[in-house]
Every structure is written in structure tokens, then in C-alpha cells.
């Protein structure tokens, strides 16, 4: 059994992991100059959806429904990522964007979404079934920092998407920020 305190700490760690994924994507966008395609933007949204379950656990304490939210978000994000994998599966297709550690970001996204689904299932199996007390929250300062970072990254994604797409549909292969032209 995993204690409620450990469960809270693992959810805080999950928020930092999701933030790390989004920060790497932003670094590639800003430093590498590769603008995200529409499916890439949906995968980023999927990671933000994935954060909802851990945010609820940090804010309200552990509950099985929070893992249900995470599993559903993981399935949605994995669907977006798999769609892009299947678009570039033909032999000779170079894929979209430069590979990162040997795989494209959308392949990594699928792997991470699948891992999040598996981790949520494991937490459901291993968690302490007794009702949690809010005072059992682990690392409240780190929890607030993790939630704040996710909120900041959500705002940054919204601003970046608005700059890239403007008021029109996002281009399939973006090369410039529409609102900065």
C-alpha cells in the first residue's frame, strides 16, 4: 500500500514531469525554431489535460476519480500522438520536426501518455483505500509550485498558439508566427 502522503508526493512529481515535457517542447520551439503543427498543439493540450488529475490530488487530496481523469486525458493525448505517428509511418517519410533522442516528439508523446495511463492504473491498485485527510498533503510548498508551473505553462501555450495561428486555422506546416508578421 502507498500512503496518502506518498501518493501526494508522487502526484507532485507527476506535475513536475508534465511541466518538464512542456518545457522541452517550448525549448525546441523557441531555441530550435520549430513551430508546433496542429497535432503537436493538440498533444500539448493533452499534456495539460493530463495534469488535471494530479492538480486535483494536490489541491483536494487523493481520490480514485482523479486517476480516472488522468486515464481519460492520457487516452485522448495518446490518440492525438498516435494519429501523428500513423501520418508519418510510411517508409521514406522523414516525419515532422527533428528527432529528439532518436524519436520524434509525437512518438515520445505517445510513450509518455501510455506511461501515464499505466502509472495511474498502478496507483489505483496500490493506493490506501481509506479516506484521505487534507492534512496528509505532502510537500504543500512543492505542490503549490508544481500547480503554479502547470498554470503558467497553460497560459504560455495559449499565448504561443494565438501568436502562431492568429484568428485563422493553424497551418499544417507553420514557418512563422501569424501575429508577428
Q: What residues contact residue 31 under an 8 Å CB cut-off, 6+ apart?
A: none
Single pTM value for the model: 0.90
CATH of 4-129+138-180, one of 1.20.1550, 2.60.40, 3.30.1300, 1.10.3470: 1.20.1550
Distance CA 138, CA 130 (A): 17
- Give the model's confidence band at 70: pLDDT under 50 very low, under 70 low, under 90 confident, else very high: very high
Domain map (residue ranges) of the chain: 4-129+138-180
What are the two backbone dihedrals, phi and then psi, of residue 100, each rounded to the nearest 5 degrees?
-125, 115
Residues 24-46 pLDDT 10s: 999 999 998 889 999 999 999 99
Please determine, for residue 137, whether its predicted confidence score (pLDDT) is greater than 80: no
What's the pLDDT score for residue 118?
97
- Give the model's confidence band at 139: pLDDT under 50 very low, under 70 low, under 90 confident, else very high: low
Amino acid at each position: 500500500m502507498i500512503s496518502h502522503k506518498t501518493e501526494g508526493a508522487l502526484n507532485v512529481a507527476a506535475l513536475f514531469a508534465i511541466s518538464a515535457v512542456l518545457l522541452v517542447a517550448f525549448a525546441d520551439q523557441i531555441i530550435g525554431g520549430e513551430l508546433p503543427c496542429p497535432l503537436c498543439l493538440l498533444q500539448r493540450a493533452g499534456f495539460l489535460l493530463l495534469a488535471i488529475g494530479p492538480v486535483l490530488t494536490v489541491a483536494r487530496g487523493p481520490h480514485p476519480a482523479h486517476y480516472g481523469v488522468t486515464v481519460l486525458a492520457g487516452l485522448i493525448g495518446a490518440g492525438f500522438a498516435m494519429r501523428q505517428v500513423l501520418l508519418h509511418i510510411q517508409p521514406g517519410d522523414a516525419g515532422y520536426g527533428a528527432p529528439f533522442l532518436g524519436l520524434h516528439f509525437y512518438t515520445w508523446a505517445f510513450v509518455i501518455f501510455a506511461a501515464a495511463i499505466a502509472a495511474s492504473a498502478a496507483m489505483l491498485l496500490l493506493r490506501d483505500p481509506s479516506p484521505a485527510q487534507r492534512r496528509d498533503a505532502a510537500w504543500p510548498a512543492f505542490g503549490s509550485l508544481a500547480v503554479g508551473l502547470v498554470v503558467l505553462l497553460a497560459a504560455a501555450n495559449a499565448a504561443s498558439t494565438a501568436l502562431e495561428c492568429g484568428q485563422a486555422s493553424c497551418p499544417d506546416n507553420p514557418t512563422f508566427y501569424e501575429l508577428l508578421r
